[in-house]
């Protein structure tokens, strides 16, 4: 980790990303395994999952892993993914007439936190994906009082996406770290994007190194 996290003051880490299909679920797996290897009881929470047909694919996969790492995390998929929608779209669109309740999600987060030392929370899409007209993913991070881990891609355009997302987090005074997921255009990353990112941030962290 880039810096020490006060695990007992802030027991939740919110995994977000610059956009969809950047590697949030992969990152959740990485961090669940990492913290479990350090002796922490881990938990998992995904407030909303869209594109759900029979069961939430990402949530189910992570719940299974979490139970393997922490058998005391004996909860159902409905606890872990309380809002499940069929349409693969932003929750605000996919939910149709359902109201996504912030109070309900905060209570669910507190319940899950009571079952673990560190709760890994997975967002949907990027930071400004809407859940309600006046509620966005970035608002959940703030309301949950979580530290954010931002996952950014290695593809062309990652400089702009990374800087914009970091600007949004700083504007809301959210503590964060960011990790680059080397998965798209990774062969070109060293030449196309890394020179600026290395110069600008001095030190880069990669998801594959966890």
Structure confidence at residue 1 (pLDDT):
55
Domain-embedded: residue 1: no
Confirm whether 195 is domain-assigned: yes
Question: What percent of the chain stands above pLDDT 70?
Answer: 95
Residues belonging to the binding site for ATP are: 21-26, 122-125
Does residue 48 form part of some domain? yes
**In Å, how far are 4, 177, 186, 190 from 7, measured between CA atoms?**
9, 15, 33, 34
Q: How many domains does the chain have?
A: 1
Block residue for tokens 């047909």: 53
Identify the pLDDT of residue 11.
86
- Whether 46 is catalytic is yes
CA–CA separation, 197 and 158 (whole Å): 9
Q: What is the pLDDT of residue 29?
A: 97
Binding positions for substrate are 50
Give a yes or no: residue 5 inside a domain: no
The torsion region of residue 187 among left (phi > 0), alpha (psi -120 to 50) and beta comes to: alpha
Kindly name the residue from 11, 46, 108, 155 that is annotated as catalytic: 46
The token pair at 142 is 């703030």
More confident residue, 2 or 161: 161
Report d(CA 201, CA 194) in Å as an integer.
Answer: 10
Count Cβ atoms within 10 A of the Cβ of residue 129 and give its class: 0-12 exposed, 13-18 middle, 19 or more buried: buried
Q: 203: domain range?
A: 12-20+28-209
For residue 6, is it within any domain? no
Residue pLDDT, tens place only, 124-169: 999 999 999 999 999 999 999 999 999 999 999 999 999 999 999 9
In a domain, 187, yes or no: yes
SS3 of residue 73 by DSSP = coil
CA distance 95 to 105: 15
Task: Say if 83 falls within a structural domain.
Answer: yes
Q: Can you tell me the distance from the alpha carbon of 68 to that of 66, in angstroms, rounded to the nearest whole number? A: 5
**pLDDT for 16 beyond 70:** yes
Looking at residue 4, its pLDDT comes to 47
Q: How far is CA 17 from the centre of its chain?
A: 7
Q: How confident is the model at residue 7 (pLDDT cuts 50, 70, 90)?
A: very low
Which CATH number is 154's domain given? 3.40.50.300
Q: Residues within the annotated binding site for Mg(2+)?
A: 25, 122
Averaged pLDDT for residues 74-85: 98
pLDDT tens digits along 58-67 = 999 999 999 9
């Amino acid at each position: 980790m880039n810096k020490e996290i006060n695990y007992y003051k802030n027991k939740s880490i919110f995994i977000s990303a610059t956009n969809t299909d950047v590697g949030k679920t992969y990152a959740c797996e990485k961090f669940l395994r990492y913290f479990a290897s350090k002796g922490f009881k881990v938990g998992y929470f995904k407030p909303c999952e869209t594109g759900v047909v029979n069961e939430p694919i990402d949530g189910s996969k992570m719940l299974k892993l979490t139970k393997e790492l922490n058998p005391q995390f004996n909860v159902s998929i409905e606890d872990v993914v309380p809002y499940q929608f069929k349409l693969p779209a932003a929750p605000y669109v996919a939910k149709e007439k359902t109201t996504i309740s912030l109070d309900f999600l905060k209570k669910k987060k507190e319940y899950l936190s009571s079952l673990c030392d560190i709760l890994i929370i997975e967002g949907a899409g990027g930071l400004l994906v809407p859940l309600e007209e006046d509620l966005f993913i970035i608002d959940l991070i703030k309301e949950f009082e979580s530290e954010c881990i931002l996952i950014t891609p290695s593809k062309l355009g990652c400089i702009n996406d990374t800087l914009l997302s970091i600007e949004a987090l700083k504007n809301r005074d959210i503590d964060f770290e960011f990790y680059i997921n080397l998965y798209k255009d990774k062969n070109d990353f060293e030449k196309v994007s890394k020179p600026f990112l290395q110069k600008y941030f001095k030190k880069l962290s990669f998801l594959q190194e966890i």
